[in-house]
């Protein structure tokens, strides 16, 4: 079976904040619906702290948790002890989604083909940040703007980036 295409799904503020105290720093129901629609039926690769913040395997998806703890186990989850082992556990799926946290995003960024980014339209205080990445390496292929007033006022864009083909020396 072949290796899946890899994608990152992330919601981040203008200052690249993705979390605070192991939770999302905003409440955005439409983003959660977007996440569910993208990932349903596929493998999710997440770090153990991200899994702990969710508290369970998400229904309709295969949850692969990357942890250094070789004794770690959770109902309905596959434990992996490296990102490569997690990717190997996703064989047979056409696409696998890396869904956090910051350390796993940094490891996965060089390997992914697609970024699904919910860009929150303001800076937000937090203690976890998405890694720097070179916009020149990515092509924006889709953008849909939205906003909400409740449960908190937010404006945000759902943006898809595809990795540009590597330039070859002549």
β-strands 17-19, 43-47: how paired? unpaired
Spatial distance between the Cα atoms of 46 and 101, rounded to a whole number of angstroms: 7
pLDDT at 130: 98
Mean pLDDT along residues 130-157:
95
Cα 99 to Cα 9, 71, 88, 105, 169, distances in angstroms: 5, 22, 16, 8, 34
Q: Where are the domains of the chain?
A: 5-163
pLDDT digits (tens, 9 = 90+) for 34-59: 999 999 999 999 999 999 999 999 99
Mean pLDDT of the chain, nearest integer: 95
The more confident residue out of 166 and 78 is: 78
Mean pLDDT along residues 141-166:
96
Spatial distance between the Cα atoms of 32 and 37, rounded to a whole number of angstroms: 9
Whether pLDDT at 124 is above 70 = yes
Whether pLDDT at 1 is above 80 = no
The more confident residue out of 48 and 3 is: 48
Mean pLDDT along residues 91-116:
97
Mean pLDDT along residues 100-113:
96
Spatial distance between the Cα atoms of 66 and 132, rounded to a whole number of angstroms: 22
Whether pLDDT at 74 is above 80 = yes
Spatial distance between the Cα atoms of 6 and 113, rounded to a whole number of angstroms: 6
Fold of 5-163: Dihydrofolate Reductase, subunit A (3.40.430)
pLDDT band at 169 (very low <50, low <70, confident <90, very high): low
State the DSSP string of 140-162. Answer: EEEEEEEEE-SSS-EEEEEEEEE
Token duo for residue 134: 């070179």
- What pTM was computed for the model? 0.94
pLDDT at 134: 87
């Amino acid at each position: 079976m072949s290796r899946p295409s890899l994608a990152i799904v992330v919601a981040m503020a203008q200052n690249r904040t993705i979390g605070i105290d192991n939770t999302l720093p905003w409440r955005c129901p439409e983003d959660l619906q977007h996440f569910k629609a993208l990932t349903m039926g596929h493998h999710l690769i997440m770090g153990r702290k991200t899994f702990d913040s969710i508290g369970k395997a998400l229904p309709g998806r295969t949850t692969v948790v990357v942890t250094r703890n070789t004794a770690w186990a959770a109902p309905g989850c596959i434990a992996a002890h490296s990102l490569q082992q997690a990717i190997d556990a996703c064989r047979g799926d056409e696409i696998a989604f890396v869904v956090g946290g910051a350390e796993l995003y940094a490891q996965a960024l060089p390997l992914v083909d697609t970024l699904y980014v919910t860009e929150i339209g303001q800076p937000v205080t937090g203690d976890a940040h998405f890694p720097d990445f070179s916009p020149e390496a990515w092509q924006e292929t889709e953008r849909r703007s939205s906003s909400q007033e409740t449960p908190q006022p937010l404006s945000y864009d759902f943006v898809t980036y595809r990795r540009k083909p590597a330039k070859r020396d002549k």
